[in-house]
Amino acid sequence: MTTTALVAPTMSLALDESQAKTLIDALIKDINSVIASGKSEGGMIRDFERIFARYSDTSYISAYAMGVDGRRASSAQKRAFSEAFQAYIARKYGRRFREFIGGRLEVTDVNKVKNWFEVDTIAYLQGQAPFKVTFHVSDRTGKDLFFNMYIEGVNLLLTERTEVGALLDQNRGDIDAMIGALQKQS
């Protein structure tokens, strides 16, 4: 009797296809709401940063972007990088989502891959052919969050790891200087 009570709640918390779709539907709804808001670019970027923080596994994404250099970073540097990276991602992808004004995203398919889900969407933009945007969703943190995104086949994790690596190279491996440069990126 006690074993059942302890096991049942844990099992019900496991991410399933419906929950992965629900997360991305909510994300899309919030993105579309910001796009339709008529706010200035700065206001939209701030909203996109809040959306990114709410729906994505920012700690995983930023750790992946920092790569092996994260091993030599102090806890304070990791926190500072994570904050700077979150703002950088919001600016970079927020500007990309501005292209969606007058368009929409729709979930088309959800597939289980190992211990996470791949949620496919189609982006319909004015004057452009539809294209695929794919989200990878996991509950490894105890919350349903996306941890990677592909836009037209371009992998967010790999792209950002390359960008951060190049920024570290430009700053001769100085993590603090790289964080400062990231904060200035538009």
pLDDT of residue 126: 83
**In Å, how far are 19, 20, 42, 108, 135 from 9, measured between CA atoms?**
16, 19, 42, 30, 27
3 state DSSP class of 120: strand
Which stretches of the chain score pLDDT less than 50?
A: 1-13
pLDDT of residue 12: 40
Q: Flag whether the pTM goes above 0.75.
A: yes
The CATH homologous superfamily of the domain defined by 2-184? Tgt2/MlaC (3.10.450.710)
Residues 6+ apart with CB under 8 A from 103: 35, 123, 124, 125, 126
pLDDT of residue 61: 94
pLDDT in tens, 77-92: 999 999 999 999 888 8
Q: Which of 96, 12, 89, 34 is nearest to 56 (CA)?
A: 89
Q: Which of 146, 131, 134, 144 is nearest to 109 (CA)?
A: 134
Q: Residue 28 phi/psi, 5° resolution?
A: -60, -45
